[in-house]
């Protein structure tokens, strides 16, 4: 089954109604949920970043509710970097000034796993030629 990574910017915006990108993020998560979009991979680093942001802005209950929904949905897969991918992430973080450390982890994971697409509103990913950033609910495996 084709998969794409999902960045914190999309997850947080979908879960937090006050985020300026909320209306753009919802169709992405709904598309993943319904099968219109590829299954989603969420790195543990991204999940932590998202849940921390939700706890700060929306409260603990909202963060737990979002976590439960992601964890129970079979179309969302929480994964971790291998040791080699983590080493690659450290190198990418040092190489690209635009990357946060989590961004570097996402790119390293994608390179290591051969995944070419990431749903993200953060254009810093555009610094990497190895991945394609998607900021709308489109299925890259079934382009229209």
CATH number of 14's domain:
3.40.50.1010
pLDDT in the model for residue 144: 63
In a domain, 142, yes or no: no
119 has a pLDDT exceeding 90: yes
In a domain, 144, yes or no: no
* Number of folded domains that form the chain: 1
Per residue in 10-30, pLDDT tens? 999 999 999 999 999 999 999
In a domain, 139, yes or no: no
Averaged pLDDT for residues 58-66: 97
Percentage of residues of the chain with pLDDT beyond 70 = 99
In a domain, 95, yes or no: yes
Strand 3-6 and strand 117-119: the pairing is: parallel
pLDDT in the model for residue 129: 87
Rounded CA separation 2/113 (Å)? 12
Give Cβ neighbours of residue 112 (< 8 Å, ≥ 6 apart): 81, 82, 84, 85, 88
Per residue in 74-108, pLDDT tens? 999 999 999 999 999 999 999 999 999 999 999 99
137 has a pLDDT exceeding 70: yes
* String of DSSP letters for 70-125: HHH-TTEEEE---HHHHHHHHHHHHH-TT--HHHHHHHHHHHHHT--EEE-S-GGG
pLDDT in the model for residue 1: 74
Model pTM score: 0.94
């Amino acid at each position: 089954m084709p998969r794409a990574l999902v960045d914190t910017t999309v997850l947080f915006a979908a879960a937090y109604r006050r985020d300026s990108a909320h209306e753009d993020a919802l169709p992405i998560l709904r598309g993943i949920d319904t099968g219109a979009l590829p299954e989603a991979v969420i790195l543990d680093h991204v999940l932590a970043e998202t849940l921390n942001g939700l706890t700060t802005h929306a409260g603990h209950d909202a963060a737990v509710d979002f976590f439960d929904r992601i964890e129970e949905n079979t179309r969302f897969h929480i994964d971790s970097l291998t040791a080699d991918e983590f080493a690659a992430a450290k190198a990418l973080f040092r190489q690209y000034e635009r990357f946060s450390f989590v961004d570097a982890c996402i790119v390293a994971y994608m390179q290591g796993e051969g995944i070419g697409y990431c749903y993200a509103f953060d254009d810093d990913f555009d610094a990497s030629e190895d991945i394609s950033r998607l900021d709308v609910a489109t299925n890259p495996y079934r382009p229209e």
